[in-house]
């Protein structure tokens, strides 16, 4: 490969030839290959990262193509697993990068293996439960990780250096209570994704080339449509269960459980803590996607070939699948983490 490939990047003084060599030796794990994950992977492959590991539980659908930049119509037609489709595209973009696509749902049982050997973890997930899991494993193993979230036109990122900066649990000690908007209920626009991924990748490059002094050090939040900018400088919480007391609840399996209901072609998802859902508000959000029936205790919504039964405490029974990853994906999409 011609030495011209990275010439413009090497001309940038904070990177230079030494930084480029460090990137070539770097290994990054990206968990989630949706909008954020594909943008992150594309940028890092073009930057000359040595190895990328892509982890995702889902497959490509037509609705992904508006913002998930590594996929095309043939991927959606063939319902290719996202990790596989993304890995194929990246190998064509930069054959010098070692790319591994893993079809898996990140859980407490497998996440340490999924991120093992990585110098950095990037968050491309769609729910807080998995983000807390990434936070736990990053803290336990001392691996920097970069949180990212996008919904509608709003995006946010946070860079976590274990034992040196606030962790996700310092900033959000508990997951959001009640139901909240997701990309599948509130929509999402590509520019918001691009902004968040660009910040995440810039932070990743700083860490990987040894320029941690240039990290922004904030929880950055930006509504790109309304031009509302919200940088917050969080502080480390001396009572944080995760980074101070090293109680890794999510990594130790004290996280939402997914279980198969015998003989019912259904999965039950039980959150770690009661969520006190507003069923009327949830009903209004779900009605565009299928018929909804509700009472004071639960609601039922038919979406495609699935039926979601959601209880006020956040517990849900998802009929039409016996695959934990599918159930978790539907829960994250339509109910929120």
CA dihedral 14, 227, 220, 233 (to 10 degrees): 110
CB atoms within 10 A of CB 22: 18
Alpha-carbon 90 to chain mean position? 19
Q: Which residue has the tokens 């040894």?
A: 210
b/e per residue, 184-214, with b = 16+ CB within 10 A? bbeebbeebbbbbbebbbbbbbbbbbeebee
Active-site amino acid positions: 183
The vertex-130 CA angle with 125 and 135, nearest 5°, equals 105
Strand partners, 160: 145
Angle between helices 190-208 and 35-47 (to 10 degrees): 40
Q: Read off the DSSP letter of residue 52.
A: E
């Amino acid at each position: 490969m011609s030495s011209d490939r990275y010439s413009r990047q090497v001309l940038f003084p904070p990177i230079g030839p030494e930084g480029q060599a460090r990137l070539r030796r770097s290994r990054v794990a990206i968990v989630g290959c949706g909008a954020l994950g594909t943008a992150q992977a594309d940028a890092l492959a073009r930057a000359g990262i040595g190895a990328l590991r892509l982890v995702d539980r889902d497959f490509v659908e037509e609705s992904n193509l508006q913002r998930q930049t590594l996929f095309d119509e043939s991927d959606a037609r063939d319902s290719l697993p996202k990790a596989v489709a993304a890995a194929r595209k990246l190998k064509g973009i930069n054959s010098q990068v070692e790319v591994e696509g893993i079809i898996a749902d990140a859980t407490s049982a497998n996440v340490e293996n999924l991120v093992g050997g990585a110098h950095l973890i990037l968050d491309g997930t769609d729910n807080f439960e998995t983000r807390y899991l990434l936070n736990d494993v990053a803290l336990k193993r001392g691996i920097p990780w970069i949180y990212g979230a996008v919904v509608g036109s709003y995006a946010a990122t946070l860079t976590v250096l274990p034992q040196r900066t606030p962790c996700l649990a310092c900033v959000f000690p508990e997951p959001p209570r009640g139901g909240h908007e997701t990309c599948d209920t509130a929509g999402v626009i590509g520019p918001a994704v691009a902004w968040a991924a660009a910040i995440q990748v810039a932070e990743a490059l700083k860490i990987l080339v040894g320029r941690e002094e240039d990290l922004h050090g904030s929880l950055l939040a930006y509504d790109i449509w309304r031009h509302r900018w919200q940088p917050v400088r969080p502080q480390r919480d001396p009572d944080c269960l995760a980074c101070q007391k090293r109680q890794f609840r999510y990594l130790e399996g004290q996280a939402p459980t997914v279980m198969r209901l015998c003989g019912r072609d259904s999965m039950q998802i039980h959150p770690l803590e009661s969520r006190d859902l507003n069923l009327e508000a949830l009903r209004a959000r779900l009605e565009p996607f299928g018929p909804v029936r509700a009472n004071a205790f639960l609601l039922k919504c038919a979406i495609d070939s699935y039926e979601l039964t959601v209880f006020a405490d956040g517990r849900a029974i998802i009929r039409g699948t016996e695959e934990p990853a599918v159930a978790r994906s539907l829960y994250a999409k339509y109910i929120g983490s």
